[in-house]
Amino acid sequence: MPAGTGAAGKRFLQSILIPFVVLALWEGLARAGVINPLILPSPSKVVVRWWAYLKPFQSYDPAQGPYLSWLVSGELLHDAAASLFRVFVGFFIGGGLGLGLGLLMGVSNTVYRLMNPLVQILRPIPPIAFIPLAILWFGLGNPPAFFLISLGAFFPILLNTIAGVRNVDSIYVRAARNLGAKGSVMFRRVILPAAAPHILTGVRVGYGVSFIVVIVAEMIAVNSGLGYRILEAREFFWPDKIIAGMITIGIIGLGIDTLLNKLSNHLLRWHRSLESS
C-alpha cells in the first residue's frame, strides 16, 4: 500500500474517532434508559426518522414547490433544495455588494472615511435583529429571507476585503510602480491577487453565516426549508426529526465548506508556493 494512502486512512480514522465514541456513548445511555427518549432519542431512532424524512413522498405534486421540484421528490431533499436556493441567492446578492464596496473602501481613502462610520455602526447588529423589519418591508416568503441572508454574507466579505486590500505588502506596490504599473493594471495584477486570501476567507465565513441566517429566517417567514421543518417538528414534539434536520444541516454545511476550502487552495496555489519558497 502506498505511504500516502496509509497516511490518508490514518487521518480519516482519527477524524471519525471522537464522533464514533460520542455516538456509541449516546446510544448506550439511551438504551440503558439513562436518557429520556422523549427528550433525546437514540442515534438509531434518529437514523430511522432521517431515512423516513429522506424517502420520496407517496403523492407529490411538483407544482407545489418552486425550487427544483422536478429534481427532488423526497421531503428532506425538497427542504434542503429550498434552503440552498435561498442561501445561494442571498449570498450572491450580499457577497457581491460586500466585495464591490470592500474593494472601493480598500483602494480609496475618501470612500473609506465616508463609509466606515456607517459600516461600524451597522456591523454589530445581528441579521436576526432585522427580522421584524424584513417582514414589515418585504412581507412573508422568499424576499425577507433573501434580505436577511444578504446581510449575513455582506459584512464578513466586506470587512475581509477591506483588510486584504489595505494590508497589501507595500513592497509589492513599490516593485510594480518601478516596473511602470499603475491604475487598473496595478489593481488587477497586484492588489487583487495579494488581497485574495483575505477575500476567500471572508467568502467562507460569509457562507457559514448565511447558512445560520437561512435556518432562522425559515422558522419565521417561510413555509418550506430545513428551518421550517425543524420548527414544525418542535410543534409536534418530534425530537428525532429535529435532530435529523440538524444533522442534515451539518452534513450540507460540511460539504460546502470542504468545496470552498478546495477551491480556495486551488486559486491560491501561487500564494502557497510563494510562502514555501
Block residue for cell numbers 418542535: 234
- Specify whether domain 73-276 bears CATH 1.10.3720.10: yes
Among 110-119, 179-188, 196-205, which stretch is predicted with the lowest mean pLDDT? 179-188
Q: Is residue 71 scored above 50 in pLDDT?
A: no
How does pLDDT run across 110-152, given as a tens digit for each residue?
999 999 999 999 999 998 899 999 999 998 888 999 999 999 9
For the chain, which residues make up each domain, given as ranges? 73-276
pLDDT of the residue at 72: 41
Yes or no: say if 204 and 268 are a contact pair by the CB < 8 Å rule.
Answer: no
pLDDT of the residue at 43: 87
CA distance 72 to 55: 11
pLDDT of the residue at 105: 92
Yes or no: say if 67 and 81 are a contact pair by the CB < 8 Å rule.
Answer: yes
* Count of C-beta atoms within a 10 Å radius of residue 13: 10
Q: Is residue 163 scored above 50 in pLDDT?
A: yes
Q: What is the DSSP string of 112-155?
A: HHHHHHHHHHHTTS-GGGGHHHHHHHH-SSHHHHHHHHHHHHHH
Q: Is residue 89 scored above 50 in pLDDT?
A: yes
pLDDT of the residue at 181: 67
How does pLDDT run across 216-248, given as a tens digit for each residue?
888 887 888 898 988 888 888 888 888 888 888
> What is the band of 66 on the pLDDT scale with cuts at 50, 70, 90?
very low
Q: Give which of 204, 203, 175 is closest to 189, Cα–Cα.
A: 175
Share of the chain above pLDDT 90, in %: 25
Cell of 12: 480519516
φ, ψ for residue 56 (rounded to 5)?
-65, 155
Yes or no: say if 234 and 197 are a contact pair by the CB < 8 Å rule.
Answer: no
Q: How high is the mean pLDDT of the chain?
A: 82
DSSP 57: P
Cell of 182: 499603475
> What is the band of 100 on the pLDDT scale with cuts at 50, 70, 90?
very high
Q: Is residue 251 scored above 60 in pLDDT?
A: yes
Among 35-49, 68-82, 124-138, 208-222, which stretch is predicted with the lowest mean pLDDT? 68-82
Confirm whether pTM is higher than 0.85. no
